């Protein structure tokens, strides 16, 4: 199974592709970030997010997408920015008819560390360990996206 994990944002959207044959056999195929610049009009930024995501889907043909839920404790302006990017991302997934799974930040932490209040460093360390990587994936948004995909692998029945 190919899982695409997404950490949605407007300036930075992290993404990570993992291939898994079971809970104990997972391999990071590729990960990265989609960047858009605040100086560009919103319509162009959402088109960039869509075009890049469509390229990733065309290349890796994921069976499922795992995406982070919106974190409501942030400022309304930040929620609006993430929300609009997330709407464009989810519509892109819908148009490709790929099943979508949403996970909240706490359940991702529990799935990776067994601990709902794990910090960023602990999470990144577990991403590195699960994927048997030599280094912690960079940038942080890509590591967060890989964590989403691992959360899905560790949550579903195999």
Query: Can you give the binding site for a copy of itself, defined by CB under 8 A?
Result: 41-44, 46-47, 50, 70, 72-74, 76-77, 79-95, 100, 102
Q: Which two tokens stand for residue 58?
A: 């065309």
User: Judged by CB, which is closer to a copy of itself: 38, or 114?
Assistant: 38
CB contact set of 33 (below 8 Å; sequence gap of 6+) = 12, 13, 14, 15, 139, 141, 142
CA 35, 58, 64, 23 torsion-angle sign: negative
With contact defined as beta carbons under 8 Å apart, do 60 and 30 qualify?
yes
The answer to whether 44 touches 50, Cβ cutoff 8 Å, is: no
Residue 55 beta carbon to a copy of itself: minimum distance, rounded to whole angstroms = 15
Q: Which residue of the set 68, 102, 119, 140 is catalytic?
A: 68
Residue 132, Ramachandran bin (φ over 0: left; ψ between -120 and 50: alpha; else beta):
left
Residue 25 or 77 with smaller CB distance to a copy of itself: 77
Query: Catalytic site residue 141?
Result: yes
- Nearest approach in angstroms of CB 79 to a copy of itself is 5
CB of 39 to a copy of itself, least distance (A): 16
Q: Which is nearer to a copy of itself, 94 or 136 (CB)?
A: 94
Q: Say if residues 49 and 85 touch (Cβ distance below 8 Å).
A: yes
Whether 68 is catalytic is yes
Report the distance separating Cα 149 and Cα 69, nearest Å: 13
Please state the closest distance from residue 91 (CB atom) to a copy of itself, in A. Answer: 4
Token pair for 103: 């996970």
Q: Which of 119, 135, 141, 144 is catalytic?
A: 141
Token pair in block for residue 73: 């404790």
| 1 vs 48, beta carbon nearer a copy of itself | 48
Q: Active-site positions?
A: 7, 68, 141
């Amino acid at each position: 199974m190919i899982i695409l994990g997404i950490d949605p944002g407007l300036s930075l959207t992290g993404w990570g592709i993992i291939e898994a044959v079971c809970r104990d056999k997972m391999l990071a195929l590729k990960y990265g970030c989609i960047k858009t610049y605040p100086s560009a009009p919103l319509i162009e930024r959402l088109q960039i997010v869509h075009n890049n995501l469509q390229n990733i889907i065309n290349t890796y043909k994921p069976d499922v997408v795992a995406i982070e839920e919106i974190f409501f404790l942030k400022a309304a302006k930040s929620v609006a920015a993430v929300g609009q990017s997330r709407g464009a991302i989810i519509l892109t997934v819908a148009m490709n008819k790929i099943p979508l799974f949403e996970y909240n930040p706490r359940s991702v932490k529990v799935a990776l560390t067994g601990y709902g209040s794990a910090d960023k460093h602990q999470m990144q360390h577990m991403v590195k360990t699960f994927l048997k990587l030599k280094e912690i994936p960079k940038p942080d948004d890509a590591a967060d996206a890989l964590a989403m995909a691992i959360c899905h692998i560790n949550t579903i029945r195999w």
